[in-house]
Structure 1
């Protein structure tokens, strides 16, 4: 069973029901709807998808809940709350009760928008996710990875999903080694996603990082995420899968199948 664990959906810019947040760091110009996603999934043999709540909506979940309703039974979601919001834990718990969520996401890549590392607020958000039975999903540049280590250690029974391979191309090899060493922590899982080509900026080959991560984590602790967008077609979604598998040619077919869906099925408790 193929599962795409990283999908962003966006409403049309002129859809007044689902406006971008006033603090949105970017604003999509075209819609990438759940209906379009389902059509692409059907044509590409993808059984399930994780809707990763995108930053333009900040902590407004109306569009996420709309998507999860459209894709009921095939979609699950992630949420995005901000630790500095004193009501974040309460809001997270309420959303987790009414929507099929699998993770709470935290970003650490823009110096002016970092989570409060080492402070009680971030721990409280992590605790709220753990109490709700959610994983913590981390999207960061490697230089910020050490700030998460104490919480990964403290909440050892809470799954931690590392987005986009830990962004190896946005840091030095030494910085990314922190992510590789997290393989010693059994609650960590790496997402094989954001698979840029050497022809794309920053014009670096992902192969060494992928080999290091597959060697450290093993296929049973890795999962695939595609590149769905407004421009996607069933054919492009098949091509996304083929691109991922080209990075996994050093693995057995069985291990590739774990990454393409088996790990997500186990971790998120999906029925087969």
Structure 2
């Protein structure tokens, strides 16, 4: 996904819907205008789910020490100052949200998240220098997912190999919107990129912002022809709770991809797939069906930082998962897989102290 950064963005602690009443009152009195209707709604929602979250955190206290909580999907990009000093934004993709690594680390620390997979943002397009600098600075905290360049000249294949072999990126993103006009992910370049990723052991994350229906045949073809290439479907393939036959058909086609054992799912960016406000309870029906088809050990949570920050806060994004899971009686073991064990198993050797 793409978008932007503002140095004036509110602190992570303030944005979490589950911040304590005392800290919220202090922040509101010291630096904010009177609460908006949206803030009051979030505060009410926090009160509603606080008891459930407290019970969940107590019962899982001993288990939490046995696995790392890992965010499978987020982005970082340059601060305005960094953009001036050597990490420029791609023209037309200037940041409007704060998304620098310092802010991310602050949010992760508050939420109790141990590590993350950073997906190269559209803000820097195919210039991976900013993300690479973050990966090198925090090698035990982050691993990277680069962005595939599907240029007609095939130059993206060499770049992919360089980023994975030399810069140690662990995955690659396919964004079909970046393919040349009229071209599909299954064209010659796309197939070469997909095959090379499999050869190098790098899962391919696929972004289908316009809906799974437009790309299902391409995804099936790639999975069928290159079974050694692992696939990850970002944001539940943008499937919202179905409300009509067409949406149910699209969701069913997404579920049917589970027949390919190399396909994984990101239960990520819940604000993108919900028709409701925080804590996105209507995604429970989606999660239940995905668990039934894929199994929890092929599902991984992702926040979609920093886009999620103005929606419900980073900490709220993590806590929503446990809340939704409680609505469908997801077992503690399955919840652990979703919150970190799946992604840790997929990217073995990551998120360990050097």
Q: CA deviation at 1:182?
A: 0.6
Partner SS, residue 66 of structure 1: helix
Q: CA deviation at 1:255?
A: 0.5
Structure 1 counterpart of 2:346, from 246, 261, 267: 267
Q: Distance in 1 between matches of 2:313 and 2:99?
A: 14
Q: Structure 2, unaligned stretches of length 5 or more?
A: 1-67
Q: State yes or no: 1:82 paired with 2:145.
A: no
Q: Distance in 2 between matches of 1:84 and 1:229?
A: 28
Q: Which structure's CA Rg is the greater one? A: 2
Please name the residue that 1:222 is paired with: 299
Structure 1 counterpart of 2:236, from 155, 165, 190: 165
Contact 2:308 2:314 in 1 (8 A): no
Contact 1:108 1:139 in 2 (8 A): yes
Which deviations, in whole Å up to 9, do the C-alpha atoms of 1:57-106 show, x marking residues without a partner?
11111111122123221100111122234111111101112223221101
Change (3 A) 1:41 1:220: same
Please name the residue that 1:155 is paired with: 226
Please name the residue that 1:97 is paired with: 165
Q: Distance in 2 between matches of 1:111 and 1:172?
A: 25
Please name the residue that 2:332 is paired with: 253
Change (3 A) 1:102 1:28: same
Per mean C-alpha deviation after superposition, the further-off stretch among 156-165 and 105-114 is 105-114
**Between structures 1 and 2, the one with greater strand share:** 1
Q: Distance in 2 between matches of 1:115 and 1:165?
A: 24
Please name the residue that 1:238 is paired with: 315
Q: CA deviation at 1:204?
A: 10
Q: Distance in 1 between matches of 2:303 and 2:162?
A: 29
Change (3 A) 1:185 1:21: same
Q: CA deviation at 1:115?
A: 5.5
Partner SS, residue 114 of structure 2: strand
Change (3 A) 1:39 1:163: same
Which deviations, in whole Å up to 9, do the C-alpha atoms of 1:215-260 show, x marking residues without a partner?
1001011001014228859x94332111012222221011000100
Q: Distance in 1 between matches of 2:252 and 2:178?
A: 20
Task: Report the TM-score, using the length of structure 2 for normalisation.
Answer: 0.69
Contact 1:169 1:204 in 2 (8 A): no
Partner SS, residue 29 of structure 1: coil
Structure 1 counterpart of 2:255, from 160, 169, 180: 180
RMSD over aligned CA atoms reads 2.6
Please name the residue that 2:77 is paired with: 10
Q: Distance in 2 between matches of 1:231 and 1:13?
A: 20
Change (3 A) 1:241 1:204: closer
Which deviations, in whole Å up to 9, do the C-alpha atoms of 1:19-76 show, x marking residues without a partner?
1223x5x431243111221222222211111111011211111111122123221100
Q: Distance in 2 between matches of 1:215 and 1:112?
A: 37
Q: CA deviation at 1:5?
A: 0.7
Report how many residues are paired.
267
Change (3 A) 1:209 1:115: farther
